[in-house]
Amino acid sequence: MFRTLLISCILIQMSSGQVPIAKNDAKLVQHLRQVYSGWRAAVIQKDAASWQRYTATNQLTSIKNRLWSERRRFPEAFFAGLPAIPPDLATLKVLRLRVKGPTVKAVYFGKVDFGVGGKPSENILTISYVQERSGWKYNGSQFVNLSALPDVRKEILAGNFKYVDQPDFQPTGKTEKPPIALRGPVKYIAKAYVFCPGREVKLLVNKISPHTYQNTKRADVILGGASDGNNEVQFTVKDIPGGDPKAPMTIRIYLMSEIQGQKPIKALEYQVIDGQDLEKSGIKRFVLTPNIAKKLR
């Protein structure tokens, strides 16, 4: 049954296009399942050593960067902050497995169960892997809830997998690396907040922390935090087709205090009111003075 599913449903991404998987490639499918199962068991058991062994280096660096930018401990804070249990692959069907260079994306379908209660329905789980010197490593996952896409669910149940042939389900062929690797917790926690209806806003804070916002309202932790003295925020803005070019927009930088009762400090604000002309690109700066620093830690 399992081998029949592999031969009929899985495709390997090759330079000449897509061809049915060979029987020998079933070994890769099984091996990747074992990699994921090892990673999952380490997460559930909070086994930091095993978790790091099964996780891609760039993933570990990204997690360290995020936790240290929030002045939290690594890896303890990772396990403490897990919102759900990683789903088991045992009951899921493989729809696609694509290999490109040192990267793989495996697309699964079925009742994806995160262990949060209720009755899971059939949805899509895509798992990424990257090959390193010591072998294949877990490199993140994406969950697609098909509740809002009932026609897609019906297509997949009927054997039509065209939905998972879109670019989002394709491996990149490149190993992505974080812009920097922090050496330890930052001195000051900072967040970038952007409100940009109908626009795309890109920020680069202190030349190391990139952020992209599209038609949203969101706050992100700044990689590397804020520094004593001068800090800079490079920004670009462009309209999204169909958006209102006169809509308001806000860019702010907040400094987050670790002192109980102290509210976040607004260090920078660039705001565009309805109908006001905006700068399409530029650099904004703020200064973290000794007096401000006393309110942060």
Tens of pLDDT, residues 152-196: 999 999 999 999 999 999 999 998 888 789 999 999 999 999 999
**Element spanning 32, H or E:** helix 26-45
Residue 175 lies in a domain: no
* Alpha carbons 42 and 117: distance in angstroms, whole number: 22
pLDDT in tens, 228-286: 999 999 999 999 988 888 899 999 999 999 999 999 999 999 999 877 888 999 999 99
36 lies in the same domain as 147? yes
Structure confidence by residue, pLDDT tens digits, 94-126: 999 999 999 999 999 999 999 988 889 999 999
One-letter amino acid identity for 262? Q
For residue 14, what pLDDT is reported? Answer: 32
226 neighbors 288 (Cβ within 8 angstroms) = yes
Residue 47 in domain: yes
Give the domain-ending residue among 103, 135, 169.
Answer: 169
| 120 and 198 inside one domain | no
261 found inside a domain: yes
- Reduced to 3 states (helix: H, G, I; strand: E, B; else coil), residue 4 is helix
Domain-embedded: residue 41: yes
The label of the residue with tokens 């992100």 reads: 220
What is the reported pLDDT for 190?
98
Do 54 and 138 lie in one domain? The reply is yes
- Same domain? For 31 and 163 the reply is yes
Q: Which amino acid is at 97?
A: L
Packing angle, helices 26-45 and 2-9, rounded to 10: 110
Check whether 16 has a pLDDT greater than 70: no
Pair 162, 286 in one domain: no
Is residue 35 in a domain?
yes
Residue 182 falls inside a structural domain: no
Q: Residue 6: is its pLDDT beyond 60?
A: no
pLDDT tops 50 at residue 2: no
Same-domain check for residues 229 and 150: no
Range of weakest confidence among 43-57, 73-87, 167-181: 167-181
- CA pair distance 227, 265, nearest whole angstrom: 14
The count of other CB atoms within 10 Å of the CB of residue 229 is 10
- Asked if 121 and 200 sit in the same domain, the reply is no
Identify the CATH number of the domain in which residue 34 sits.
Answer: 3.10.450
| CB of 162 closer than 8 Å to CB of 192 | no
pLDDT number for residue 244: 85
Asked if residue 264 belongs to a domain, the reply is yes
Q: Is the dihedral of CA 49, 137, 168, 33 positive or negative?
A: negative
- Residues facing residue 271 across a β-bridge: 250
Pair 131, 250 in one domain:
no
Both 23 and 81 in one domain: the answer is yes
| Backbone phi and psi for residue 257, each to the nearest 5 degrees, phi listed first | -85, 145
Structure-block tokens of residue 294: 């006393």
Alpha helices in 46-183 (DSSP H): 48-54, 57-69, 76-80, 150-157
> 107 and 216, same structural domain?
no
Banded pLDDT at 47 (limits 50, 70, 90)? very high
User: What residues have CB less than 8 Å from 277, skipping those under 6 apart?
Assistant: none
One domain for residues 241 and 269: yes
Domain assignment of residue 274, yes or no: yes
Using CA atoms, how far apart are residues 57 and 156, in angstroms rounded to an integer? 34
pLDDT confidence of residue 51: 98
- Determine which of 4-18, 80-94, 165-179, 283-297 has the lowest per-residue pLDDT on average: 4-18
pLDDT grade, residue 212 (50/70/90)?
A: very high
Instruction: Spell out the residues 6+ positions from residue 55 whose beta carbon is closer than 8 angstroms to its own.
Output: 39, 137, 138, 139
Task: Please indicate, yes or no, whether the overall pTM of this predicted structure exceeds 0.85.
Answer: no
Q: Higher model confidence: residue 26 or residue 155?
A: 155
Q: Which domain holds residue 96?
A: 2-169
Task: Please state the domain count of the chain.
Answer: 2
Residues making up the chain, counted from first to last: 297
Most confident of 42-51, 76-85, 271-280: 42-51
Distance, in Å, from the CA atom of 286 to the CA atom of 48, rounded to the nearest integer, reads: 38
For residue 48, pLDDT beyond 80 = yes
- Domain end, chosen from 169, 204, 235, is at 169
Q: Are residues 206 and 84 in the same domain?
A: no
